[in-house]
Chains A and B, each alone.
Chain A
Amino acid sequence: MGRAQGTRRGATDETAFAAALAQARAGDEAAFARVYRTVNPRLVGYLRGLVGNDADDVASETWHDVVRALGDFRGDGPAFRAWTATIARNRALDHLRRSNVRPRTTELVDTAKDSPADQDSERLALESLSTAHALSLIAELPRDQAEAVLLRVVLGLDAPMAAQVLGKQPGAVRTAAHRGLKRLAERMRRPGGTEEK
């Protein structure tokens, strides 16, 4: 289970990240920049499942919290990602309350520039499914499923850590993630039974 992070991110990546994290906590700005650049895109990816197009803004707020509390953080790379995800989640929920909107009412696919034009062939559409729209597909799942899948897959957290972030029982998170995958699988299917390319 713990191997999950090692496979998607690579063991050496994880080691380098842990080193950068330690340096950042000691006040090394260049190291912190590396930490930021590594984690932020994934954090934004997770936040898209919560706040849609406001993900970047909420991530920015999150990092201001992270910066202030970094001295209190103890743990390794995965723990750090879980920690930032928790802060991000709280920020996102605050954001939703503040703006008094239903979660993710904004248009999610802001990668429209990358998407094929309407008249393009299904071939292109299928290709785009495997690239530009993958994250959007997950982000558009029902929120509990989206969160579970994004935490597990995009932030590379193992099941207990994802459950920790969500404040739920690991079993519930596992179920949500499985449902999310099933739904993704359904949506991937093409009329002729063709799979995503």
Chain B
Amino acid sequence: MTTNEHPEQRKGSDPGRPDDEPPGRRPHGDPAEQTGWLDAETADHLLDARPGAPHDDERVAGLARLLASAVEEADSRPGSRNTERLVLEAFRDAHGAGRTPARSRHPRARWRRASRPTKVLVGSIAAVSLLSGVAIAATTGTLPGPFHSGRGTPGESRSASASSPSPRTSGAAGAGRPAPAPSATAPADSGQAPTHPATPGASTVAQPGLKGLCTSYLRASRRGEHVDSTAQRRLDAAAGGSADVASYCARLTADQTSGQTSGHGKPATATPSASPGTATPQSPAPHASRPATPAVAAGPTTGHGRA
């Protein structure tokens, strides 16, 4: 694949690199002679970082130190705070179930995000019951009372709409539970989501994750911040221009919201049926199971960590 890319070709990028030596200055011309001490077994030991690795050879010990340093170097570079926050927010969106604060926050947030038709619908119900309250009051002659209950209706229907998603959150025990919210909206995305190596040609795979990116984008722009450049590029491409990203994302996430709120209209059926019915929850799964399943299968044999 890229084996023609010799490190030497890239040397120019880093003048300060210490090993920047012309090959001719090497003491031995024959690489095999130089690394003859590094047999397959020793290499495997180094790669495994096995404690019993024969480090008595200074050259092996040096290589072992180099590898250990690489791990340390990786660990010493924590990602940016901003990226971490966006990732955690994405987690919260997808798995907010277990968190009480998130849960108490969500119904209201949903209401706020509820699409106009839903608000109109709820309002209409309120108005109708208000009017019928008036009518009843008029017929029964107890005007003030019904008015009260009538006024209470919007609140009730509101809390009803708020409570209908809450079983989702409260019943978090099921593993599939947290999924419906994002998954109900993600089908197009995650269908091809993390793109198998098997389908390298498909560049339509720009799709996956767009919803999540949009969520992050909208949240960031609300704060006057920006998403990282890769995310921005993908959104630009998806929206057909950076000017259209905001509206594109609004639409994409609105689909999600209306999809959820329609669940209120047809109580409960929409959301639960979404999980087994659509291919969505499964769609990440094949991908997920690919590394996971063999890994699990490998578990007993290799017994990492568990044994």
Contacts and interface: CB of A to CB of B under 8 A. Distances in A.
Interface of A: 1-8, 11, 14-15, 18, 24-29, 32-33, 36-37, 40-42, 44-45, 54, 56-61, 63-65, 67-79, 82-83, 85-87, 89-91, 93-95, 97-99, 102-104, 107-109, 111-112, 115-118, 122, 125-126, 128-138, 140-144, 149-150, 152-154, 156, 158-161, 164-165, 167, 174, 177-178, 181-193, 195-196
Given A142-B3, A185-B59, A26 B172 contact: yes
Given A143-B3, A149-B47, A185-B35, A2 B303 contact: yes
B15 to A, nearest CB: 6
A56 B79 contact: yes
B66 A196 contact: yes
13 contacts: A1-B48, A2-B307, A7-B51, A29-B98, A65-B208, A79-B291, A97-B203, A103-B2, A118-B15, A118-B16, A149-B67, A153-B67, A177-B43
A3 B48 contact: yes
Contacts of B13: 107-109
A15 B65 CA distance: 25
B80 interface: yes
Given A57-B228, A126-B18, A67 B291 contact: no
A110 B175 CA distance: 41
Contact of A158 (B48, B83, B196): B48
Contacts of A65: 193-194, 208-209, 212, 284
A42 B281 CA distance: 28
Nearest to A116: B16
Contact of B74 (A14, A41, A159): A41
Nearest to A140: B7
Contact of A60 (B7, B34, B69, B228): B228
Given A63-B90, A64-B216, A108-B10, A181 B304 contact: no
Interface in B1-24: 1-7, 10, 13-19, 21
Given A97-B203, A164-B295, A187 B7 contact: yes
A51 to B, nearest CB: 9
Given A68-B212, A196-B66, A78 B304 contact: yes
Best-buried of A24, A68, A126 by chain B (most CB within 10 Å): A68
B304 A67 contact: no
Best-buried of B65, B66, B88, B99 by chain A (most CB within 10 Å): B66
A8 B69 CA distance: 12
B233 interface: yes
A86 B290 contact: yes
A20 to B, nearest CB: 13
A-B complex: 7 closest residue pairs judged by Cβ atoms: A27-B98, A125-B18, A79-B295, A45-B74, A2-B302, A57-B230, A69-B284
Contact of B69 (A26, A33, A76, A131): A131
Interface string B57-71: 011001101110111
Contact of B200 (A29, A36, A93): A93
A6 B305 contact: yes
B222 interface: no
Nearest to A17: B305
Contacts of B7: 140-142, 183, 187
B218 interface: no
A60 B230 contact: yes
Give the interface size class of chain B. Answer: 35 or more
Contact of A182 (B19, B31, B95, B305): B31
Interface stretch (B107-115, B129-137, B178-186): B178-186
B72 to A, nearest CB: 7
Interface string B190-227: 10011111101001011011001100100000000000
B196 to A, nearest CB: 7
Given A36-B84, A57-B230, A115-B16, 4 more contacts: A29-B92, A33-B84, A102-B5, A115-B14
Interface string B71-100: 111111111100110111011101111110
A189 B95 contact: no
A87 B290 CA distance: 10
B209 A64 contact: yes
B132 to A, nearest CB: 42
A132 B19 CA distance: 13
A55 to B, nearest CB: 10
Nearest to A36: B87
A146 B127 CA distance: 67
Contacts of A56: 79-80, 83, 228
Contact of B79 (A40, A67, A118, A128): A40
